């Protein structure tokens, strides 16, 4: 029996996935949580074989939760569910030694099969996400977005960035928002971390 921990902040999705997986003869959902920062405590308590983690959750995101989980409970493998999967997100997942990436709109059978593959020691990457990764040519940021993000990372406020680059405050905010979106980040601090880890700053 494969013991599974689910981490998904949207209650209806979490409960639906738990119910669907409950119909599988060889899968048992032993815990379900709604925050990234409670993944590790729940895993230590319930000892799952596989953690199915949504990438975008309150507390900490799914990749950070997977990183901590690998450190605290190395016997548990991680399958990440994502609505969007940019190259930066996939790269962070590889660095965190995530065993699989699946799109959130995958069918129940696909998710169950992915769990079995991960539990058996294999790796899973949704074909659509693989296509995105293969099509990546490096940083998705424009030169100006990179410059704004780099200055922000150095501690400059948006108004200071605007003054140093001879831009308006609103334009700087737009560049920051665009960078956050392109990097699948939660906020500008997360965007800076993702870009820095990828070597794009």
Got the DSSP string for 157-185? -HHHHHHHHT--HHHHHHHHHHHHHHTT-
Residue 88: half-sphere exposure toward Cβ, Cα within 13 Å: 22
pLDDT at site 105? 81
Per domain, the residue ranges of the chain are: 2-134, 143-197
Nearest partner of 148 among 169, 120, 117, judged by Cα: 169
Local structure of residue 108 (DSSP, 8 states): H
**Residue range 7-55, pLDDT digits in tens:** 999 999 899 999 999 999 999 999 999 999 999 999 999 999 999 999 8
Per-residue pLDDT tens digits for 157-196:
999 999 999 999 999 999 999 999 988 888 999 899 888 8
Question: 199, 198, 201, 200: which is closest to 88 by C-alpha?
Answer: 198
Arch. (CATH architecture) of 2-134:
3-Layer(aba) Sandwich (3.40)
What are the pLDDT digits (tens) for 119-148? 999 999 887 777 666 655 568 889 999 999
Distance CA 21, CA 135 (A): 33
How far is Cα 35 from Cα 48, in angstroms, rounded to an integer? 17
pTM of the model: 0.69
Same fold, 2-134 and 143-197: no
- CATH code linked to domain 143-197: 1.10.10.10
């Amino acid at each position: 029996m494969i013991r599974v921990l689910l981490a998904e902040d949207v209650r209806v999705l979490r409960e639906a996935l738990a119910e669907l997986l409950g119909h599988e003869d060889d899968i048992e959902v032993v815990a379900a949580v709604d925050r990234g920062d409670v993944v590790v405590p729940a895993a230590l308590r319930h000892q799952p074989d596989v953690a199915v983690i949504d990438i975008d959750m309150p507390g900490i995101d799914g990749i950070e939760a997977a990183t901590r989980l690998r450190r605290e409970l190395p016997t548990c493998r991680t399958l990440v569910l994502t609505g969007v999967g940019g190259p930066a997100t996939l790269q962070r997942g590889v660095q965190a030694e995530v065993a699989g990436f699946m799109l959130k709109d995958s069918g129940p059978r696909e998710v169950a099969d992915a769990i079995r593959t991960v539990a058996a020691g294999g790796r899973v990457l949704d074909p659509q996400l693989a296509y995105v990764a293969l099509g990546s040519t490096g940083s998705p940021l424009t030169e100006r977005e990179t410059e704004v993000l780099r200055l922000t990372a150095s501690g400059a406020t948006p108004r200071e960035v605007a003054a140093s680059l001879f831009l308006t405050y609103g334009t700087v905010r737009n560049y920051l928002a665009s960078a956050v979106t392109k990097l699948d980040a939660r906020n500008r601090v997360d965007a800076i971390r993702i870009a820095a880890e990828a070597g794009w700053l």
